[in-house]
Amino acid sequence: MKALSFALAFLLTLAVASNRGFAQPGSGGEALPAQALHRFGTARFCTQAEVVSLQLSRDGKLLAAADRDGRVYLWDTNTGAERIATPPETGKRVALSPDGNWLALGEDAPFELRNLRKKEAPRLPIGNGPRAFAFSPDSKAIAIAVMGETEVVIYDIAADQELRRLKGLEGNPNTVAFSPDGKLLAVGTLPADDDENPKIRIAIWDALKGGDRLRQIDHAAKSIRQLAFLGDNKTLVGHVNTRLLAWNGLSGQRLPKLDRAVGSSYALDSAGKLLANTDGPTVLDFGTGKTRHEFEAPSLLRHLAMSGDGKLLAACPARFDSASPRILLWDLKTGKDRVVADAHRHFVDAVAFGQDGKWIATASNVEGAALVWDAKTAKQVHRFNLESLAAKQSGGPRTRRTLADGLAFSADRPELFVAGQRWSLKSGEPIPLEGDDDFRFDQTNSYRAMLTPDGRRAVSFLIGQSLLFWDPARAKTIRRIEPADKERRSEWSAVAFFPDGKRAVTGKWFIPRPPEDETPATPTLHVWNLANGEQERRFRVSKAPIVSMMLSPDGETLAVIGFPTRLELWHLPTGRLMREMRLADLEDLPRSLAKPALAFAPHGQWIAFAHREGEIMLLETVTGKPIHTFKGHRGFISSLAFSPDSRRLLSGGRDTTALLWSTVPTKSPLPKSWNDADALWFELGGSPDQAYRVVWPLLANPRRAVEVFAKRLQPDGGATEKEIRTLVTNLSSAKFARRDQAIRRLKEIGPRSFPALEQALKKSPDLETARRIQLLLRTVETALTPETLRDLRALQVLELIATPEATALLKRIAAGDRDAAKTRLARTALDRMRGGSSR
């Protein structure tokens, strides 16, 4: 566990940038991205990183925020509509003018004023640098104090020019406030980091005359935030440590009777009559201390904001990764939460499709809850809370993190597995499990449990590197394995079960080693036989630990995420690396823990993969190349799952929502060759870019697809063992044409030729023949011929369109040579179609 903890801390230091885009409106009132069918939950008032600045407009109609990465947001509080969402490094401080017409933003980024009433270029663009600023009460001017400067500048907004300067600023400005009548201006500054006796300073000026300051107040403290004048235009309050302190702004006298304990933040209305603190939060009458409202937030709070009219309160969490990315809003008139949704409040860490495609499930680790939804209507059906379970009911470890690994619908019962516990989809209640004492003892020593997508098998990683394979439906041990080659510096991090459930492959995690570390690399992938507990193979000798992995439906392709920057595709029957994709440079990895997500489509020809903020790539498995991109989530995507028919993709994000996508574009332009069947067939064997310009329109036009394939897609006669031996012999032929034809045909045959090739290599052929054999063994999985690609893509199209004519054509192909890859693919496609799924 120490290795994993170190790795988590390491990941938290890395950085990233983002973007997003939206299109049509969704059923919940939020915009839906292109190709999205439903959004489950709401992304309203969600940020991508911890909020560092928060403000409500005086009338409560607008909410502005800035996050730690410098993104600035602006929402309409009545509708939740997002008016502004900037890229990172735009600003870490925001302010709204009292009339709601202007948004000021900046700090550690160029300062600017944005007009919220009409489109125009930003005003007062000022260079980078830490600064504090505040609008005048009449919204006609703004005061700006910049670190390292000795003067505060007041600008005339309408004239877009300097109005006057206030002299005598000392220290690093952190907060600025006008008195309600606009006559006084106060600036709070921080002491230097190396001050032995740190003091905050509050300087006060005549805002209308400018010139030298009227007074400076010194106070022994390290920080001052959120200065504000009360309604009498002279009482000044500020947040010092966890208390609200008060002074007479004219005389500088302390007013200890007005001091209040407020926690990490406070908020006042414009009149200074209502005070909110982070204890709850709680809203008090500032004068009497009487409680007006007491709310319950799901986590500790960092920042508060109150509308000037005292009708709305906003709050954001103290720790983004362990709290919620959503800003909370309370109506102070009704005392109700403005943004309560019957959905997730935190990251959606796991998603799953029901076996019939009619239901979906989403789970959040921090909430300890799983939700079940109707996939067609996007309505919530059940909510299962992990916290409500009695200890005796659980068949597996019940830590919150297990929800991400342990979410699956039962393959044959109306049940959902959540972190090893079975829940009835009929009653909505947990189903008691009667595991024996040995099983329960083992589970108490496990640090992670993972389920297969169909919920039939599970594995628990035990402390000490033992592996416990078990049946979730019965809470019974299948096999406990004690690896012979335990390594002190590593632990298990990922598992994938073979389709028959008789074998499994596990992956290892360890602390990433620096380049100068000369410790020999060790195998990180291990294949186990669950019947006898023996290790069948170890491979992938690497210094790059494994973050996650997934096995293709046919059990032949293993997708591996290798820390920190690689997606690898392995051919499991041979243990050979087929291809790899570099994800990012170290400095571009996410600052927060957001490991890449991946999922195989049931037909095995696509991999959904997400490692960038807000973006999902659809890769073609055989080529490893992207064929489509989905954009719509805000922030990182945590989990992915395909529907049983491969026509829909479900994604869970750190924006607290799940999105259901159509994998087939609704509108695809017809290629120029549309009326030429031979040309379409030819293009189908090209690069993914070229081929999918044909695939997408064919999926939208089933009749045309069958017309093109009927005469050109033929059953495979198969390659006999005799033919393979002859081809291998021809690799040493003196005739180039014969050698070339042998190489091409062996590539078409693929892995079935491996035994004969390896046997020929053992016979020590001449160097040139040996080189050809070795090249074939290294590249046969990836060097796909156009003919093979056409067959694969055509079979995929037929399965997806699933018309009677397409099914008849698939049956004809399935009648070919039983050992041919094309025949097997057609048969498995028919099996999936017979299984039935909701379209």
pLDDT tens-digit readout, 408-433 = 898 888 999 887 678 899 998 888 77
What pLDDT was estimated at residue 391?
37
Residue range 120-125: mean pLDDT, rounded = 88
d(CA 545, CA 582): 15
**pLDDT for res 165:** 96
The whole-number average pLDDT for the span 150-157 is 96
Helix (H) or strand (E) holding 383: strand 380-385
What is the token pair recorded at 580?
A: 């790899």
Give one DSSP letter per residue of 116-170, joined into a string: SSS--PPEEEE-SS-EEEEE-TTSSEEEEEETT-SEEEEEETTTTEEEEEEE---
Helix (H) or strand (E) holding 746: helix 736-749
334 in Cβ contact with 350 (< 8 Å): no
Domain residues of the chain, as ranges? Answer: 130-261, 350-662, 677-835
How many angstroms separate the Cα of 52 from the Cα of each of 47, 481, 493?
Answer: 11, 49, 34
**374 has a pLDDT exceeding 80:** yes
Query: In the structure, what pLDDT confidence band is assigned to residue 396 with cuts at 50, 70 and 90?
Result: very low
pLDDT digits (tens, 9 = 90+) for 610-635: 988 889 999 999 888 999 999 999 88
Question: Which candidate, 91, 197, 102, 198, places its Cα nearest to that of 158?
Answer: 102
Chain-centre distance for alpha carbon 524:
25
Look at 799 and 511; give whichever has higher pLDDT.
Answer: 799
Yes or no: say if 218 and 198 are a contact pair by the CB < 8 Å rule.
Answer: no
216 phi/psi in degrees, rounded to 5: -130, 130
Cα 688 to Cα 122, 571, 683: the distances in Å are 43, 20, 10
Closest alpha carbon to 645 in 811, 810, 832: 832
Alpha helix positions (H), 406-455: 437-444
In the prediction, which pLDDT does 320 show?
A: 61
Structure confidence at residue 612 (pLDDT): 82
Question: Is a pLDDT exceeding 90 seen at residue 16?
Answer: no
Residue 831 pLDDT exceeds 70: yes
- Reply yes or no on whether the pLDDT at 694 is more than 80: yes
Nearest to 620 by CA among 640, 603, 638, 596: 603
Helices then strands, counting H and E runs in the chain, come out as 13, 57
Asked if the model's pLDDT at residue 395 lies above 60, the reply is: no
Q: Indicate the CATH number for domain 130-261.
A: 2.130.10.10
Give the length of the chain. 839
d(C-alpha 809, C-alpha 806), whole Å? 5
Residue with the bigger pLDDT between 752 and 649: it is 649
Higher-pLDDT residue of 588 and 644 is: 644
Instruction: Write out the H or E segment, with its range, that includes residue 773.
Output: helix 767-779
**Unique residue bearing structure tokens 């789970």:** 363
Nearest Cα residue to 145 out of 193, 95, 217, 103 = 95
Res. 750 pLDDT band, cuts 50 70 90: confident
**pLDDT above 70 coverage of the chain, percent:** 88
User: Phi and psi for 97 in degrees, rounded to 5?
Assistant: -70, 150
Average pLDDT, integer, range 346-375: 91
* pLDDT higher than 70, residue 394: no
Higher per-residue pLDDT: 783 or 557: 557
Exposure of 185 by Cβ count < 10 A (0-12 exposed, 13-18 middle, 19+ buried)?
buried
Which of these ranges, 191-200, 299-308, 449-458, 592-601, has the smallest mean pLDDT? 592-601
Distance, CA of 621 to CA of 792 (rounded, Å) = 11
Confidence (pLDDT) at 573: 83
Question: How large is the average pLDDT for residues 36-48?
Answer: 92
Residue 663 has pLDDT above 90, yes or no: yes
- In the Cβ-directed half-sphere of 591, how many Cα atoms lie within 13 Å? 13
Q: Is the pLDDT of residue 104 over 50?
A: yes
Beta partners for residue 25, in sequence order: 31
Higher-pLDDT residue of 681, 347: 681
CA 497, CA 503: separation in Å to the nearest integer?
6
Provide the mean pLDDT of the chain: 86
Residue 417 CB-half CA count within 13 A: 33
Mean pLDDT throughout 682-700? Answer: 96
Interval 165-208: pLDDT, tens: 999 999 899 999 999 999 999 999 998 777 788 899 999 999 99
How would you class 349 by CB atoms within 10 Å of its CB: exposed for 0-12, middle for 13-18, buried for 19 or more? buried
pLDDT at 126: 82
Report the pLDDT averaged over residues 825-836: 86
**Stronger pLDDT, 6 or 387, i.e. the higher one:** 387
Query: What span, in angstroms and rounded, lies between the C-alpha atoms of 217 and 221?
Result: 12
Q: Do 350-662 and 130-261 fall under one CATH topology?
A: yes
Residues 487-522 have pLDDT tens digits of 767 888 889 999 888 899 999 888 777 767 777 888
Higher pLDDT, 193 or 789: 789
pLDDT reading at 738 higher than 80: yes
Distance CA 172, CA 260 (A): 25
Q: Is CATH 2.130.10.10 what the domain over 350-662 is classified as, yes or no?
A: yes
Give yes or no for residue 810 having a pLDDT over 90: yes
Any idea of the CA torsion for 666, 671, 673, 674, to the nearest 10 degrees? Answer: 20
Structure tokens at 205: 């000026």
Where is pLDDT greater, at 212 or 763? 212
Measure the CA–CA gap between 73 and 598, rounded to whole angstroms.
Answer: 30
This prediction's pTM: 0.85
Cross-sheet strand order for the sheet of 291-294: 266-268, 274-277, 282-285, 291-294
290 exposure class (CB count in 10 Å sphere: 0-12, 13-18, 19+): exposed
- Say whether pLDDT at 562 is over 60: yes
State percent of the chain over pLDDT 90. Answer: 53
pLDDT category, 389, cuts 50, 70, 90?
low
